[in-house]
């Protein structure tokens, strides 16, 4: 039995078939199949069920799989330990990034290019997804690190994070919107409107209570994002369900829709400023105020590999921690 045969077996299971596994391993499919059959012959039992549309592990294969993964992880750890002593960093880092998470504040391409220049033997796999799915993938060990949105200022159980953006949510409307004519009470000096956050931190713009949005069509980011979660929690506290009529993954699209008078865009403060300065008016949402937060997240026990730990360390230095809001 050879480690490469175990790696081939695990790859076929992960990819659900020989064709995709061969492409991932940069092997010819006949050679991959021959190695798996050799492993099965040595063990005296079939490990894979090839009868369906996708290849799945047999009962014996399912029993063997965790041991195969553990053997491969141990072999990788041996290589990484030796590399650490020689100053060479190698391995694979899986990074999740929520779309538009940091905007102009984070040039992900420049960051990855700089990291690759310093650590050319490290492979980085980048995916974009919603906060909800990335949080689950992180806790399941499918991601090493994620840059995601969060409605909370503390991490969920099993995770740790480093908040890099923490700003209030605001309402952006077209000129002439009825919200601009309403007489809403000002919040003097800032009020504690949500745990650990001061909503009176956007000088120069008027306030509206969240309840003013009760019967208005809203424009917001999709379900699974931190901003949407913050909006829905705030509306629950205010005693109503938000009427989200339009949703899009890009804040720029939300602003375009609001500028056309199609509804009230709920955005992180700052996102309302670029590109539609003459076409949008901003209102600070209070009672309750809501926050948009972006965090660098990882499992509470830390990334497993030296490569992922080095990547996380650099990412945290590149994205400094957001100032405290309380």
Give the domain CATH number at 214. Answer: 3.40.190.290
pLDDT for the residue numbered 287: 87
- Read off the DSSP letter of residue 130: -
72 & 112 share domain: no
Q: What is the pLDDT of residues 4-29, one digit of tens each?
A: 999 999 999 999 999 999 998 888 99
Q: HSE on the CB side for 232, CA within 13 Å?
A: 13
Given a cut of 60, is residue 201 above it in pLDDT? no
82 & 111 share domain: no
Percent of the chain scoring above 70 in pLDDT: 86
Angstrom distance (rounded) from CA 217 to CA 246: 8
Q: What is the pLDDT of residues 169-188, one digit of tens each?
A: 999 999 988 888 765 544 43
Six-digit token string for 321:
């921690």
pLDDT for the residue numbered 210: 94
> With bands split at pLDDT 50, 70 and 90, how would you rate the model's confidence at 302?
confident
227 & 324 share domain: yes
pLDDT for the residue numbered 235: 94
208 & 125 share domain: yes
Contact (CB, 8 A) for 182 and 264: no
272 & 326 share domain: yes
122 & 65 share domain: no
Angstrom distance (rounded) from CA 63 to CA 184: 64
Structural domain total, the chain: 2
Angstrom distance (rounded) from CA 142 to CA 129: 13
31 & 136 share domain: no
Q: Of 65, 86, 107, which closes a domain?
A: 86
Strands 291-299 and 159-173: antiparallel
137 & 275 share domain: yes
Stretch among 184-193, 229-238, 284-293, 315-324 having the lowest mean pLDDT: 184-193
Stretch among 222-226, 307-311, 312-316 having the lowest mean pLDDT: 222-226
Given a cut of 50, is residue 281 above it in pLDDT? yes
Q: Of 68, 86, 104, which closes a domain?
A: 86
Q: Which helix (H) or strand (E) is 283 found in, with range? A: strand 281-286
- Which positions ≥6 away from 260 have C-beta within 8 Å? 174
pLDDT for the residue numbered 242: 94
Contact (CB, 8 A) for 222 and 228: yes
Q: What is the pLDDT of residues 148-158, one digit of tens each?
A: 988 888 888 89
How high is the mean pLDDT of the chain?
84
Domain that holds residue 209: 94-326
pLDDT for the residue numbered 181: 77
38 & 178 share domain: no
pLDDT for the residue numbered 131: 87
Contact (CB, 8 A) for 208 and 286: yes
52 & 78 share domain: yes
CATH number of the domain that 21 lies in?
A: 1.10.10.10
pLDDT for the residue numbered 93: 92
Given a cut of 60, is residue 271 above it in pLDDT? yes
Answering whether pTM is above 0.85, one says: no
- Read off the DSSP letter of residue 176: T
Q: Of 86, 116, 136, which closes a domain?
A: 86
35 & 109 share domain: no
Name the CA dihedral angle for 293, 312, 134, 285, rounded to a multiple of 10 degrees.
0
Q: What is the pLDDT of residues 29-51, one digit of tens each?
A: 999 999 999 999 999 999 999 98
Q: What is the pLDDT of residues 99-140, one digit of tens each?
A: 765 555 578 888 999 999 998 989 999 988 888 889 999 988
127 & 9 share domain: no
């Amino acid at each position: 039995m050879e480690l490469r045969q175990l790696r081939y077996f695990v790859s076929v299971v992960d990819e659900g078939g020989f064709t995709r596994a061969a492409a991932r391993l940069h092997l010819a499919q006949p050679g991959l199949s021959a190695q798996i059959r050799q492993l099965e012959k040595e063990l005296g039992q079939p490990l894979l069920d090839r009868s369906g549309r996708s290849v799945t592990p047999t009962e014996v294969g399912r029993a063997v799989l965790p041991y195969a993964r553990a053997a491969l992880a141990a072999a990788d750890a041996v290589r990484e330990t030796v590399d650490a002593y020689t100053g060479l960093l190698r391995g694979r880092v899986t990074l999740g990034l929520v779309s538009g998470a940091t905007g102009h504040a984070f040039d992900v391409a420049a960051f990855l290019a700089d990291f690759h220049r310093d650590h050319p033997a490290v492979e980085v796999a980048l995916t974009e997804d919603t906060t909800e799915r990335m949080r689950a993938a992180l806790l399941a060990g499918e991601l090493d690190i994620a840059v995601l949105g969060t409605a909370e200022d503390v991490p969920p159980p099993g995770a740790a994070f480093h908040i890099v953006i923490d700003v209030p949510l605001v309402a952006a409307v077209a000129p002439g919107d009825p919200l601009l004519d309403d007489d809403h009470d000002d919040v003097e000096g800032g009020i504690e409107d949500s745990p650990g956050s001061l909503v009176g931190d956007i000088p120069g713009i008027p306030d509206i209570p969240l309840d003013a949005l009760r019967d208005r069509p809203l424009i917001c980011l999709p379900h699974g994002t931190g901003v949407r979660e913050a909006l829905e929690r705030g509306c629950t506290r205010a005693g109503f369900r938000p009427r989200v009529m339009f949703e899009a993954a890009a804040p720029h699209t939300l602003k375009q829709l609001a500028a056309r008078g199609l509804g009230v865009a709920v955005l992180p403060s700052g996102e309302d400023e670029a590109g539609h300065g003459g076409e949008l008016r901003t209102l600070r949402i209070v009672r309750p105020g809501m926050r948009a937060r972006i965090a660098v997240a990882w499992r509470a026990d830390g990334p497993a590999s030296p490569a992922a730990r080095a990547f996380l360390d650099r990412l945290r230095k590149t994205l400094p921690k957001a100032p405290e809001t309380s």
